[in-house]
Amino acid sequence: DAKTTQPPSMDCAEGRAANLPCNHSTISGNEYVYWYRQIHSQGPQYIIHGLKNNETNEMASLIITEDRKSSTLILPHATLRDTAVYYCIVRAGLGTGTASKLTFGTGTRLQVTL
Amino acid sequence: DGGITQSPKYLFRKEGQNVTLSCEQNLNHDAMYWYRQDPGQGLRLIYYSQIVNDFQKGDIAEGYSVSREKKESFPLTVTSAQKNPTAFYLCASSSGRASGELFFGEGSRLTVL
């Protein structure tokens, strides 16, 4: 699976958009980009994933560059409850019945402030 | 509601004792996983199971054992052979689809005294 690079920490003012970058320059054509977040002392929570196209759900938007070498997770209106560690992960879609072995790095610690 | 239940949430044990952490899911997922997290670090995969009666070692399996006798259950035993067992342990499951995301439990924090 491709390696990812994220900044160790970021700050964002409450109500503003939080844009979390991720570099995955060695990504392969069949690898998905996943985003999870982990609030302190809890299990990670799935946010969103994508392959080529930009994706949006009720939590966030995922923007993947045309060459797929980087992506940005956007939280459109950050709140204090969005303070967490955000993990960007890439993994190949290996077909049905295959375990989703995801490798979690150290992520980006997002601090949302008043 | 569907989800993953880990127990106990906190556990204290003396050095040299084996400890079993419970993980149960009612999501009807085929695949289950155990991860370990140390302070300030990411998650490291201990063991995973794609189907009942089958499991594979992850990146840090030494000193751990698992079983998968039922689809909904994937207990983890931390044996006395694990040199540094104090950590936060997370169980997860997935549907096994190609793009299937992981669903995590709330974790078990093990402290060995």
Q: In degrees to the nearest 10, what's the CA dihedral of B93, B96, A34, B41?
A: 40
Closest CA to B7 of B27, B29, B24, B26: B24
Question: Which positions 54-93 of B are in contact with A (Cβ < 8 Å)?
Answer: 56, 58, 88, 90, 92
Q: Tens digit of pLDDT for each residue in A74-104?
A: 999 999 999 999 999 988 755 544 566 778 8
Return d(Cα A48, Cα A58) in angstroms, integer: 10
Q: Tens digit of pLDDT for each residue in B56-112?
A: 999 999 999 999 999 999 999 999 888 899 999 999 998 866 566 889 999 999 999
Cβ–Cβ under 8 Å, residues B90 and A41: no
pLDDT of B53 reads 94
Q: Is the pLDDT of residue B13 over 70?
A: yes
Distance of CA A47 to the CA centre of its chain: 7
Cβ–Cβ under 8 Å, residues B10 and B25: no
Q: Tens digit of pLDDT for each residue in A7-62?
A: 999 999 999 999 999 999 999 888 889 999 999 889 999 999 999 989 999 999 99
Please name the residues in contact with B44: beta carbons below 8 A apart, sequence gap of 6 or more: A104, B35, B36, B37, B58, B59, B60
pLDDT of B99 reads 61
Return d(Cα A39, Cα B34) in angstroms, integer: 18
Report the residue of B99, B103, B109, B111 to disrupt the A interface, i.e. the one with the largest count of A CBs within 10 Å.
B99
If you compute the radius of gyration of chain B from its CA atoms, what whole number of angstroms results?
13
Beta-ladder partners of A57:
none
B98 to chain A nearest CA, in Å?
4
Q: Is the pLDDT of residue B15 over 50?
A: yes
Q: Tens digit of pLDDT for each residue in B66-79?
A: 999 999 999 999 99
Q: Is the pLDDT of residue B1 over 80?
A: no
Cβ–Cβ under 8 Å, residues B34 and B90: yes
pLDDT of A96 reads 47
Question: Which amino acid appears at position A62 of this protein?
Answer: L
